Structure 1
């Protein structure tokens, strides 16, 4: 009889546990996320928005490529303009230098000044021509200055060019038809040290002039100003 009484209790426990498991499974299933069901209209809207998004991304990519190309074009244009500006600047600078060399514009700078004067003392028994400055003396100074790198030369303030001519007429000299009396001031723009040293070489131009009874005064100048040549001014 005791064994029969224990079986209903075990059965009741089994049923209780089974009921709990079934109830728990139901609650778990009920609380699980539900799959959203979309109808045809919602699917069409979703597809439409996705296509718009894809189109916008594609268009943005195209715009980025166009912007990149335009930036390259602008950069190339700026480089070209810079090159042109440099070419123009170089041309202007070259033109200015040529004008200076041709005496078309005034010029100033450092340089040297050479003053050639007739001898103060002339012996009674000697020829006067042996104690005055001739065009050959002036040519000697000018040639030495040009060889030493003089950028511009003037005689008594008148620009001397490579095609200029000098003639001696008694006590005066004529430069391109303009007469100048002694003393003759030859100005040269360039490196003062180089020009000065070139003239003072042993047995150089200054020594030769002194031997030929020409009074020579040589000085370095911090600032020399020269006008344009007469033909350019007139």
Structure 2
């Protein structure tokens, strides 16, 4: 009989221990947080706002990209327009230079025609002076050789210019010039010089016609704008 109370005590002790252990383990398990309806509504509202903000940001990024592309397109068009304008200005200036509305400079040649220093007594003086025909010959040869601009005694010559001779004086577009007559031409100096200096060419003819000729290549020739008869 003494053994039964001992066994019963042992069973009760073990049961108590198991109950206490299970309670302790249950207490250590995290409990699930229960949210109220108002808390759920707030959480849902904030999430919706966040989604809307993200969507708005996406739209703004796309709009920014479109505007940047447009700005780049405008910049390209502006650059093209500036290039076109610059090209027009350059062509306009070139035409104005050729037309004599603007000064011109560049390399070329200089040809000086002088009346003969010695005139035999038996010959006529008219045979030993420079005439407009001599100047025309030089100008035409220079133009054929590619001269970009020509001047006589600093006065520009154009397609409609007229040259006449009155004794020892040459008149260019109404403006008189005494001898010597300095003809300057802007262009390739080597080509212009060679064209005039050909054997039996213009220079040889002028010398045979009793005209003293001096010719040189020039690194830089300055030509003023078109002069008027009143200037």
Q: TM-score, normalised by structure 1?
A: 0.84
| Aligned equivalents of 1:18, 1:233: Cα separation in 2 | 137
> Superposition RMSD on alpha carbons, in Å?
2.9
Residues 1:16 and 1:226: Cα distance change in structure 2 (over 3 Å): same
CA drift at 1:15: 8.4
Unaligned residue ranges in structure 2 (runs of 5+)? none
Please say if 1:134 is aligned against 2:109.
no
CA drift at 1:229: 1.4
Aligned equivalent of 1:61, options 58, 66, 76: 58
Please say if 1:202 is aligned against 2:199.
yes
Equivalent residue, structure 1, for 2:222: 225
| Aligned equivalents of 1:128, 1:13: Cα separation in 2 | 164
Residues 1:41 and 1:232: Cα distance change in structure 2 (over 3 Å): farther
Residues 1:18 and 1:134: Cα distance change in structure 2 (over 3 Å): farther
Q: CA offsets, 1:58-104, max 9 Å, x none?
A: 11011111111111121222222222222222222221111111111
What pairs with 1:186-201 in structure 2 (closer than 5 Å)? 186-201=183-198
Equivalent residue, structure 2, for 1:32: 29
Q: TM-score, normalised by structure 2?
A: 0.85
Aligned equivalent of 1:212, options 193, 201, 209: 209
Structure 2 residue matching 1:231: 3-state secondary structure: coil
Structure 2 residue matching 1:73: 3-state secondary structure: helix
Q: CA offsets, 1:23-53, max 9 Å, x none?
A: 5554333222222211100000000000000
Bigger shift: residues 116-125 or 178-187 = 116-125
Structure 1 residue matching 2:119: 3-state secondary structure: coil
Count of matched residue pairs: 231
Equivalent residue, structure 1, for 2:86: 89
Aligned equivalent of 1:75, options 49, 72, 86: 72
Q: CA offsets, 1:102-156, max 9 Å, x none?
A: 1112222322211011222223344433322222211121122222222221101
Equivalent residue, structure 2, for 1:5: none
Aligned equivalent of 1:185, options 179, 182, 203: 182
CA drift at 1:197: 2.5
Residues 1:10 and 1:217: Cα distance change in structure 2 (over 3 Å): farther
Structure 1 residue matching 2:190: 3-state secondary structure: helix
Structure 2 residue matching 1:173: 3-state secondary structure: strand
Unaligned residue ranges in structure 1 (runs of 5+)? 1-7
| Aligned equivalents of 1:10, 1:140: Cα separation in 2 | 150
CA drift at 1:22: 5.9
